[in-house]
Amino acid sequence: MTRPGNRLTRTAAMALLGAMLLPGAAPAQSPFDVFNFFTGSLPDKSAAPAAPRRATVTAQQEPVAALPGSSATPAWSGEDGASGHPLMTAQAIREAAANFDNCVAAFWPDAARRGISRESFERFTANLSPDLRLMDLMDSQPEFTKAIWDYLDILVNDNRLARGREILAQYKPQFDAAERAYGVDRYIIASIWGIESNYSTQMGDRYVLNSTATLACVGRRQAYFKDEFLTALEILHRGDLRPEQLRGSWAGAFGPTQFMPTAFKRFAVDADGDGRRDVVDNPADLIASTANNLKKDGWQSGQTWGYEVVMPQGFDYMKADRKQMLTLAQWEQMGVRRPNGQGFPRSSDKAYVLAPAGSEGPGFLMLNNFRTIMKYNPAEAYALAIGHFADRLRGGQPFVQPWPRHERVLSRSERLELQQLLAQRGFYRGTPDGQFGSMTREALRNFQASIGAPADGFATGDMLERLRGR
């Protein structure tokens, strides 16, 4: 749920996505799982980076600690990581894996400083083994991605909406209590639950302690995952959760709304007063903890996340920027309107324009609460799905404007070429890597403006052809 810097991995909801959307990626609250469909990259969920153990480990046979009932996982490829990081070479991974026991044992002084007993430390770390398959997942760079409209089609569907309405009715007292205590919209909480884990049916099957121990001792994000590992130990030592409950995504997110261990530590609450903060099997704790997370991340009570809007003819898409926060009244003065003809309930609210599919697709005005959702997971596509799913749960309609479904999503090699061509023309000053971020979008906008096209920053096959000069 909350990720230091950027966030999201849930084998739960996002294993769903990892499997459905990304060839070989994983899913909430972790630092790696949800793909940003607008930028063409996996968000680096922890602003500051930072994840083995046992003797000789090979690509064909590496030990993996698992809980009873967990499914077998594919073996590590044995190849260097795609990131090119020195700690992600096959040799470095094997050496770190061989030193896994020593690495974990060296965490004892830090664990003791957190109040973890020696007995708990020995008991919970006794059978851990490096899961080197995580190295492939950490450095996966899918060649193709899903378009935003395909992403929404997968996540916001009739079956999931029907189950969401059942959940809202079944746990109405718990949602009532959470809304009173935290002022967070119940439909947003139910939406996160549905999208993160498909209402607890896809929460991931890797043992969180083993995954975080692996990532704390092997690979390029060891400092980050050391904190997650030690915090997972704290959770077990305190007794909030049992080991068999601590299953999750490859990067350590667990539970129906996919908390990373450190997010659990900051936001989990004991809503029913039973002495445990059980965000896995206790609906009261789960709902209240998710609400507390959003509230502390800046959720504003009584405010929506955003509005679908129609952009006026000739709109300057250079204004479609997160930094351009204007009042809804000011956007109206520029001709931005809601497609159903309704006005904005509070014209003084501030928002920015988001055009995820460029000038040919729907436009949106995003308020503060959209930014709050993005603190839960920094991908715009994810936050849009959460907001839209919540609106549908409360009885709202699908988006009115059509998506440009005729457009083809660029492959990674094409994204790399586009960056290189932008650089050759003097628009892009970064290092071409095939991953689209704000620098690429700005460069593409400037190129589009130079040729008289709508400067919406939307990378299409046509824009690539224009750059090629064809």
Per-residue pLDDT reduced to its tens digit, 264-294:
999 999 999 999 999 999 999 999 999 999 9
Tell me the whole-structure pTM to 2 decimals: 0.86
Amino acid at 334: M
CA dihedral angle for residue 136, residue 139, residue 142, residue 148, rounded to 10 degrees: 120
Q: How many Cα atoms within 13 Å fall on the side-chain side of residue 47?
A: 4
Q: What is the DSSP letter of 259?
A: B
The residues that bridge with 350 in the sheet, in sequence order, are 327
pLDDT for residue 56: 28
Quick one: average pLDDT of 60-71? Answer: 39
Asked if 365 contacts 328 with a C-beta cutoff of 8 angstroms, the reply is yes
Report the pLDDT value the prediction gives residue 146, as an integer from 0 to 100: 86
Q: For 238, how many CA atoms within 13 A lie in the half-sphere containing its CB?
A: 19
Among 276, 366, 254, 224, CA closest to 12: 254
Judge contact between 191 and 163, C-beta under 8 A: no
pLDDT at 112 over 60: yes
- Rounded Cα distance between 322 and 37, Å, is 17
Closest CA to 103 of 61, 39, 159, 57: 57
CB proximity list for 456: less than 8 A, separation 6 or greater: 317, 320, 355, 358, 359, 445, 448
Average pLDDT over all residues of the chain = 86
Mean pLDDT of 322-346: 95
Burial grade of 326 (CB within 10 A; 0-12, 13-18, 19 or more):
middle
- Segments in 275-411 forming alpha helices (H): 283-296, 328-333, 368-376, 380-393
Tokens 């099997």 — which residue?
A: 281
Instruction: Say how far apart CA 404 and CA 162 lie, in whole Å.
Output: 27
Among 9-23, 354-368, 446-460, whose mean pLDDT is lowest? 9-23
Name the least confident of 12-21, 142-151, 220-229, 279-288: 12-21
In this predicted structure, the answer to whether residue 15 has a pLDDT above a threshold of 50 is no
Give the position of tokens 């059980």. Answer: 278
Instruction: Give the separation between CA 338 and CA 343, rounded to whole angstroms.
Output: 7
Question: What is the percent of the chain with per-residue pLDDT over 70, rounded to a whole number?
Answer: 84
Q: Residue 176: is its pLDDT beyond 70?
A: yes
Separation of alpha carbons 238 and 241, rounded Å: 8
Cα distances (angstroms) measured from residue 451 to each of 192, 366, 445:
41, 29, 10
Q: Are 107 and 226 in contact (CB under 8 A)?
A: yes
What is d(CA 297, CA 59) in angstroms, rounded to the nearest whole number? Answer: 41
Among 11-20, 43-52, 67-76, 128-137, the least confident range: 43-52
| 141-175 pLDDT, tens digit each | 777 778 999 999 999 999 999 999 999 999 999 99
| pLDDT reported for residue 39 | 36
Strands (E), 256-409: 306-309, 326-327, 350-354, 363-366
Instruction: Using the predicted structure, report yes or no on whether residue 420 has a pLDDT greater than 70.
Output: yes
Computed on alpha carbons and rounded to an integer, the radius of gyration of the chain in Å comes to 23
